[in-house]
Amino acid sequence: MLAFTIRRLFEALVVMLTVALLAFVLFRYVGDPVSQMVGQDTSLEDRTRLRLELGLDDPVYIQFARFVGNAVRFDFGISYQVKQPVTRLIAERMPATIELALAAALFAVALGIPMGVYTGIHRDSWLSKLFLTVSLIGISLPTFLIGILLIYIFAVWLNVLPSFGRGDTIPIGFWRTGLLTASGLKALVLPAITLGLFQMTLVTRLVRSEMLEVLRTDYIKFARARGLPERAINFGHALRNTLVPVITVIGLQLGSIIAFAIITETVFQWPGMGLMFIQAVQHADIPVMAAYLLLVAFLFVLINFIVDLIYVRIDPRIRILRRGA
């Protein structure tokens, strides 16, 4: 178990270093950092001094080491666009994104798993077909279109929910939460559904196909042959065996929820990291892009790691036999 944890940690480190290298190359070689930071009329001496200060003349590996060292201390430099430390920008924006992502994930799982189980067991019922059709539409509709549709229905037409912003927030330490005010919760509904809908359809379809797969296995046949009640077969033997892949995907999807939050935040003008990132891309604000990249990679790696640990709890075989990854 310890060896396994250490190996996983090592693999995570390799991924992080790869991404860091990518971010560094971005930061260092896409455009000239100096001319991004200073105005047109800065003198050549000032520029040279800045180059020296930033250590841009040092050997590349020293620069990279410094970049990594800074990143570990959450120092990502100054945003080209708003001229503020990137770390502060992120700290301000992160709570909004995390709250949105968790609400969306909860929505997706709470609805997706029961729908998936139902459609897996009752393959040919009309309700299953309805679920699957809806889920296909959910997969085909781009996130931003769903958001616009929801805004049109609930904000423009019915005028019951806000269409942009986070509502009122309350600070708890550095974390500004919108979960404790009525307007904050109201503001969360549409973005969370928009962001979670796609994931929900994904969870539904995954659980369904895993259920179909598991229901065909010999041990389910054998469970039937032993006269176990359908409920015990479906919810005990079958569902539990689908959980390993389902948890993997849900874990990975949590990462992609954070990425997809870029779109949702743009549609709803939700003041999170995604909105920050898209503004950075539009203005070629490399330090912000690099920091966001590293942060998202870190979150993904962290989630993957946790998912792996959960695996081991669910599937006893993994305690001995590790999947080759």
142 part of the interface to another protein, by CB under 8 A: yes
153 part of the interface to another protein, by CB under 8 A: no
User: What letter represents residue 160's amino acid?
Assistant: V
Report 194-233 residues binding another protein (CB under 8 A). 209, 212, 216-219, 221-230, 232
Stretch of 26-34, 70-78, 166-174, 185-193 contacting another protein, by CB under 8 A:
26-34
What is the size of the binding site for another protein (CB under 8 A)?
A: 70
Give the one residue of 197, 263, 291, 295 binding another protein; rule: CB under 8 A: 263
304 part of the interface to another protein, by CB under 8 A: yes
Query: Residue 60 CB, nearest distance to another protein (Å)?
Result: 19
- When the beta carbons of 89 and 169 are compared against another protein, the nearer one is 89
Q: For residue 174, count other CB atoms closer than 10 A to its CB.
A: 9
- d(Cα 28, Cα 34) in Å, to the nearest integer? 10
Determine which helix (DSSP H) or strand (DSSP E) holds 257, and give its type and residue range: helix 239-268
Would you call 322 exposed, middle or buried from its count of C-beta atoms within 10 A (0-12, 13-18, 19+)? Answer: middle
160 part of the interface to another protein, by CB under 8 A: no
Site string for another protein, 121-140 (x = CB under 8 A): ---------------xx-xx
Query: Residue 233 CB, nearest distance to another protein (Å)?
Result: 10
193-222 burial code (b ≥16 CB/10 A, e <16): bbbbbbbbbbbbbbbbebbeebbeeeebee
Going by C-alpha positions, the residue among 251, 63, 270 that lies closest to residue 147 is 270
Q: Quote the distance between the C-alpha of residue 134 and its chain's center.
A: 23
Residue 294 tokens read as: 């590293």
- d(Cα 146, Cα 300) in Å, to the nearest integer? 25
Query: Residue 259 CB, nearest distance to another protein (Å)?
Result: 4
Which residues contribute to the site for another protein (CB under 8 A)? 15, 18-19, 26, 30-31, 136-137, 139-145, 148-149, 151-152, 156, 163, 209, 212, 216-219, 221-230, 232, 236-237, 240-241, 255-256, 259-260, 262-263, 266-267, 277-278, 280-282, 284, 286, 289, 293, 296-297, 300-301, 304, 314-317, 320-321
